[in-house]
Every structure is written in C-alpha cells, then in structure tokens.
C-alpha cells in the first residue's frame, strides 16, 4: 500500500473530540434535534440529462452522512420524482445542491425557504463559482466540499450564528472522509429510479488544468486520495448488502488515474474482490498496454475518456496537456484488447474548430470502433478561465442552458449555423444503423447496444433550434 501522504497542499487533521464548544458538545445542549431537508433539484432544460435512471447523488449523500450524526436529515431527489414541498414548516435547515444547469431552480427553492425564515444552505459547483450571485438566494454558500468546513458550519447552525459563506482555509485529507451512508438514497420511495451503478469516490481534484473545467478552480493543484483499504471496504460493504460479488461501481472522481501508482495499486486490489466498474479518466498513461490490461482484469466495463478534439490547435488552446492525438488510437486499441468499452467525449465550437474537425472526428470514431461517442458544445462555465476569456462573446447567461447542449458563442472559423449543421450531421452519421453495426460488430450484447439505439432515435430528431 502507499504511504498515507494524501494531500499535495497542506494537511490539517481534524479533532473529533467532544470538547467544549465542539459541534458534538453543542448538539448535546439542544432540547430537540434540528431538522434538515436536503434537496437535489432537477434541471429544467433536460435534453438528455436527468432523464431515465439517474445516479445516486453522492454529493448530498456525503452531506447527509455528516449532518446525520447531529441532526435529523431527510434527502429528496426531484430527478427521481420526489416532490419538493412548498411549505418548509417541518424543517429548520434547507440544503440545496446546484450545478449551473439547475441553478435557477435551486435559487427559487432557496428564495421560498428564506421567505419562511429557514436557514438555507447552497452548495455545489455553481454557488461555489458565483458566491455573490448565490448569496442572494440563501443564508450561506458552502464553497467546495462540506467536509473541510463541517465543524465550523455545524457549530454555527447549532448556535444560530450563520456566516454568508463557508470556505476552508485548507482542504482536509481524504482519510477523514466518512463512509457514505447510502440509506439516505436507498430508502427513498423513488429509489428504483436510481441506476444500479453505485457511486464511489477514491480521489479528488485534477491538476491537469484544462481551461474550461471548474475542478482546477475549486481544488487548485491539489490531488487527494483515500486509503485503498477504505475504498475496498466500501465496495465490500455493498457486495454484502446486495448479496453478490458482481456489483458495479461508478467512480465519481475528477480524474482517478492522475497519480498512476495509486490508480494501479487500487486496481490490483480490486482484481481480488470481483467487482465491475467504470470511471472518468484522462488519457495521461492509457497508451501503455499494461494499464488497459489491469483495467480489464479488475472489472472495468466502460472507460469514459475526454478525447475532446481531433484538432491539435483546439487541444492546445484548452490547455489539455494530457491528450496527445498520436496516442488516441493506441489508447482505444489497448482498451479494446481487454474488452473495455469506451465512452468517448468530444466537444465542438472552439475558435480553432473548422468544418474539417467534424470529418476527422467521424473518421476516428469509425476507424477505431468507438462504442459510445458523446458530443457536446463547448460551454464556458462561470468561474473558469475560459468563461472570462469568452465572456464578451457569450450569447446569453441563461443558466438553464449551460448544459453543454446549447450554442454559446460564435467560433472564429465558422458561422453558428455551420457549427450546428455539422454538429447535428456528425451525430446522425455516427448513430445511423449501419454505422452502429460497423462500430459495435462482435461486441457483447449489453446496455451499450441499447444506448446506441436510443441515440439513433434521439439524433434522428435533432434540429438546430434544439440547441438555441
Ligand atoms: C461524476 C460527475 C458526473 C457524473 C455523475 C453526476 C451525478 N449525478 O452526480 C455524470 C457522468 C453522470 C455527470 C454528468 C454531467 N456532468 Co458532471 N461531473 C462529475 C464530476 C467529475 C464529479 C461530481 C461528484 O460527484 N463529485 C463527488 C462529490 C462527493 O463531490 P461534489 O459534487 O463536489 O459535492 C461536494 C461539494 O460540492 C459540497 N456540496 C455539494 N452540494 C452541496 C449541498 C449542500 C447543502 C452542502 C452543504 C454542500 C454541498 O459537498 C459535497 C461533498 O463533499 C464533476 C466535477 C466536480 N468535481 O464537481 C463534474 C461536473 C459536475 N459535471 C459537469 C457537467 C457539465 C456535466 C454534464 C452537463 C455533462 C453532460 N454534457 O452530460 C452532466 C450533467 C448531469 C446533471 N444532471 O447534473 C460540470 C458542471 C459545471 C457546472 N458549472 O455546472 C462539472 C463540474 C465538470 C466540469 N466540466 O467542470 N457528471
Ligand atoms: S483532465 Fe478532466 S478533470 Fe482534469 S482539468 Fe481537464 S477536464 Fe478537468
């Protein structure tokens, strides 16, 4: 096992003792437990997101796990069909999570709860990025993860002395992360709408520094990871709970392979327990066949890789140093050799993109038989360097449309019309029945085939207006 050097920034260890003024002590001074309602809102512009089955909200599960030690916590998820109450009289604290695409919804819930004199907490990437905007709709904004500010936040809630925002001076090492208590999601009445893939977290952060990504802004250059034993214990717990070995996990990590030694050790240990898994990954060392071999052997059935672009100028402009176009085919070939399917992300609409970029992407996908290509339009998310760069040219600031499926600005080398026409054509070509058969020939009959046919039906209906 690796030594427990978990934090490339500084380390402050928390004190969990029940000392005077600690949240644990303050909680004992209360006559009744305060009641929390945690809310996962559904986005209102869901072209493809938030539909079908959705993954269990690990973010709020983590919040509930911590808060549940001192408070009565209820978690509701609007994506699964849970209704968000209008009347919050049964609760003291309303906690809402928000990304940009559901920020308006989160804000209106926050406004309603504030009007009822509740303590309103807003967390998640959008409030973190736009503190000033978010503070208008809540009592307090939580910047980044809850774990690193928990003692201060919990004490203030118990004392009734809230600050407008909570931001950690230093990030705590992930060894202090508690095992998520999934009962908050699994016991909900609409739990059947959750995907059977169980979210799990081994690492946090990604120092690659792509200019369009929020992670480097929130977590800087830090890359933290949990003890491998803790990750495995969590997996074994789910195996026991479900009474079978072959449980499928979905890593929620920003970039699980950033530190190769940790990643390979984790996979080696996972080979011993017989789970299945998938993850988001950057391709920094996926061109090495031994990495693909251990990924396959440890049960990886799908790797989600941000290829982003086949245009070297575009890659350079986004600062994605981990991507080398000359390695793309070997990355795919290696993974295929070990029966790992690929969900490949591609983005369009950058200034260096031109009409040839679409053809090059089509050729790459077809030649390399990529199982599950996903296309999006580049979206400058608030708080990123890219947002600041493109801001004067952004067509609108309607957060509902910041879902990577809307046209945000006119690129330099193409009109908006050409961009959308080519964007649609590429998707329709790649998801034609003939193209699906060519890409998927010989692959096991599983959900990826179904996803392809769903995409076939979906892409047939695409029109430029959908993206406006
Ligand atoms: C895994 C992941 C996914 C997964 C799972 C998503 C899910 N259902 O949770 C999948 C692949 C499905 C996915 C889909 C999408 N994703 Co995504 N995803 C991530 C990723 C890498 C990790 C999220 C995660 O679960 N982290 C682990 C949890 C434990 O940490 P956390 O979310 O940060 O939560 C902590 C804190 O934020 C805080 N907190 C959060 N909420 C609250 C609430 C309260 C009250 C409190 C007190 C604290 C608190 O405490 C939590 C515990 O520590 C993030 C990057 C990131 N680091 O945020 C991108 C990210 C969230 N995704 C992003 C995008 C764009 C998308 C898609 C639109 C992509 C697409 N084209 O389909 C969709 C949208 C889906 C949706 N409906 O929201 C963007 C969002 C940018 C933005 N400003 O909104 C991110 C930030 C990546 C980026 N490009 O910068 N995603
Ligand atoms: S490699 Fe992925 S997680 Fe890391 S900065 Fe780039 S987009 Fe963000």
What confidence tens digit (pLDDT) does each residue in 182-203 have? Answer: 999 999 999 999 999 999 999 9
CA of 159 to the centre of ligand 2 (A): 39
Residue nearest to atom 72 of ligand 1 (CA): 49
Domain of 403, CATH number, reads 3.80.30.20
Do 435 and 339 lie in a common domain? yes
* Judgement on whether residues 461 and 364 belong to the same structural domain of the protein: yes
> Of 151, 166, 181, which marks where a domain is finished?
166
Residues 252 and 361 both lie in one domain: yes
If asked whether residues 159 and 93 sit together in one domain, one would say: yes
In this structure, is residue 3 part of a structural domain? no
Instruction: Indicate the pLDDT class of residue 5, thresholds 50, 70 and 90.
Output: very low
What are the CA-CA distances from residue 39 to residues 72, 80, 116, 117 (Å)? 14, 12, 16, 17
Average pLDDT over every residue of 266-290: 93
Last residue of a domain, one of 146, 166, 186: 166
Residue-level pLDDT at 175: 87
Q: In angstroms, what is the span from residue 451 Cα to ligand 2's centroid?
A: 25
Q: Does the beta carbon of 145 lie inside 6 Å of ligand 1?
A: yes
46 pLDDT above the threshold of 60: no
State residue 24's pLDDT score.
92
Higher pLDDT, 245 or 52: 245
Percent of the chain residues topping a pLDDT of 90: 88
Q: Is residue 186 part of a domain?
A: no
Quickly state the pLDDT bin for 50 (edges 50, 70, 90): confident
In a domain, 398, yes or no: yes
Q: Are residues 417 and 292 in the same domain?
A: yes
Residue 215 near ligand 1, beta carbon < 6 Å: yes
When pLDDT is averaged across residues 51-62 and rounded to a whole number, the result is 93
Does 150 lie in the same domain as 207? no
Residue 16: predicted pLDDT: 52
CB of 403 sitting under 6 A from ligand 1: yes
Residue 17 lies in a domain: no
Instruction: Give residue 14's pLDDT.
Output: 44
Q: Quote the pLDDT of residue 2.
A: 34
Question: Which residue CA neighbors atom 8 of ligand 2 most closely?
Answer: 213
Average confidence (pLDDT) over 73-89: 97
* Distance from Cα 218 to the centre of ligand 2, integer Å: 12
- Asked whether residue 153 falls in the same domain as residue 268, the answer is no
121 lines ligand 1 (CB under 6 A): yes
Distance of CA 319 from the midpoint of ligand 2 (Å): 10
Q: For residue 206, how far is its CA from the centre of ligand 2 (angstroms)?
A: 6
Comparing 171-180, 328-337, 365-374, the range with the smallest average pLDDT is 171-180
pLDDT single digits (tens) 122-141: 999 999 999 999 999 999 99
Residue 321: pLDDT band with limits 50, 70, 90: confident
Is 375 a member of any domain? yes
For a ligand 1 pocket test, name from 121, 146, 207 the mutation site with the most ligand atoms within 8 angstroms of its C-beta: 146
Whether 391 has a pLDDT exceeding 50, the answer reads yes
Per-residue pLDDT averaged across 412-424, rounded? 97
Residue 322 predicted with pLDDT over 90: no
pLDDT band at 48 (very low <50, low <70, confident <90, very high): low
Quick: pLDDT tens for 97-112. Answer: 999 999 999 999 999 9
Average pLDDT over the chain reads: 93
* For residue 31, pLDDT beyond 50: yes
Co-location of 155 and 203 in the same domain: no
State whether 263 and 329 are in the same domain: yes
Centre of ligand 1 to C-alpha 99, Å, is 7
Q: How confident is the model at residue 436 (pLDDT cuts 50, 70, 90)?
A: very high
Domain count, the chain: 2
Mean pLDDT of 404-430: 97
Asked if residue 281 belongs to a domain, the reply is: yes
Ligand closest to CA 322:
2
Q: What is the pLDDT averaged over residues 265-276?
A: 98
Residues 366 and 408 in one domain: yes
Specify the pTM: 0.94
pLDDT of residue 227: 96
- 134 in a domain, yes or no? yes
Residue ranges making up the domain that contains 385 = 196-467
Average pLDDT over residues 340-369: 97
Beta carbon of 56 within 6 Å of any ligand 1 atom? no
CATH assignment at residue 97 = 3.40.50.280
- pLDDT over threshold 80, residue 74: yes
pLDDT of residue 39: 98
Per residue in 13-28, pLDDT (tens digit) is 344 556 768 999 999 9
Q: Verify that 135 and 233 share a domain, yes or no.
A: no
Q: Are residues 158 and 227 in the same domain?
A: no
What residues are in contact with ligand 2 under a 6 Å CB criterion?
Answer: 206, 208-210, 213, 215-216, 254-255, 282, 306, 320, 322
Is residue 4 in a domain? no
């Amino acid at each position: 096992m690796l030594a427990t050097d978990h934090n490339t920034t500084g380390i402050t260890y928390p004190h969990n003792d029940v000392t005077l003024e600690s949240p644990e002590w303050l909680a004992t001074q209360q006559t009744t437990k305060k009641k929390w309602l945690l809310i996962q809102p559904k986005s209102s512009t869901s072209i493809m997101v938030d539909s079908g089955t959705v993954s269990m909200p690990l973010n709020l599960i983590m919040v509930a796990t911590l808060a549940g030690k001192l408070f009565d916590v209820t978690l509701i998820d609007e994506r699964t069909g849970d209704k968000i109450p209008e009347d919050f009289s049964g609760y003291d604290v309303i906690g809402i999570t928000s990304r940009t695409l559901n920020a308006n919804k989160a804000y209106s819930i926050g406004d309603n709860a504030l009007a009822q004199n509740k303590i309103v907490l807003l967390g998640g990437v959008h409030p973190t990025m736009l503190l000033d905007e978010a503070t208008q709709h809540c009592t307090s904004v939580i910047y980044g993860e809850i774990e690193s500010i928990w003692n201060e936040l919990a004490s203030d809630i118990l004392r009734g002395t809230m600050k407008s925002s909570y931001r950690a001076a230093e990030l705590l090492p992930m060894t202090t992360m508690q095992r998520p208590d999934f009962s908050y999601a699994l016991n909900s009445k609409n739990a059947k709408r959750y995907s059977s893939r169980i979210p799990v977290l081994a690492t946090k952060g990604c120092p690659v520094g792509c200019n369009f990504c929020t992670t480097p802004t929130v977590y800087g250059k830090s890359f933290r990871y949990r003890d491998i034993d803790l990750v495995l214990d969590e997996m074994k717990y789910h195996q026991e709970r479900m009474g079978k070995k072959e449980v499928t996990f979905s890593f929620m990590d920003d970039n699980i392979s950033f530190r190769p030694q940790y990643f390979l050790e984790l996979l080696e240990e996972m080979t011993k327990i017989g789970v299945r898994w998938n993850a988001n990954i950057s391709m920094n060392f996926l061109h090495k066949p031994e990495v693909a071999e251990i990924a396959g052997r440890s049960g990886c059935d799908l790797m989600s890789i941000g290829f982003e672009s086949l245009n070297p100028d575009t890659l350079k402009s986004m600062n994605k140093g981990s991507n080398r176009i000359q390695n793309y085919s070997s990355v795919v070939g290696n993974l295929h050799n070990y029966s790992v399917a690929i969900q490949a992300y591609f983005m369009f609409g950058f200034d260096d993109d031109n009409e040839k970029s679409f053809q090059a992407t089509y050729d790459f996908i077809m030649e390399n038989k990529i199982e599950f290509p996903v296309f999006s339009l580049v979206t400058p998310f608030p708080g990123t360097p890219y947002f600041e760069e493109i801001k004067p040219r952004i067509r609108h600031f309607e957060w509902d449309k910041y879902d990577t499926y809307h046209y945000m600005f006119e690129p330099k080398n193409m009109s908006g019309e050409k961009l959308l026409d080519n964007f649609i054509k590429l998707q329709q070509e790649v998801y034609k029945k003939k193209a699906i058969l060519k890409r998927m020939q010989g692959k096991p009959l599983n959900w990826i085939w179904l996803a392809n046919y769903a995409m076939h039906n979906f892409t047939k209906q695409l029109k430029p207006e959908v993206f406006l």
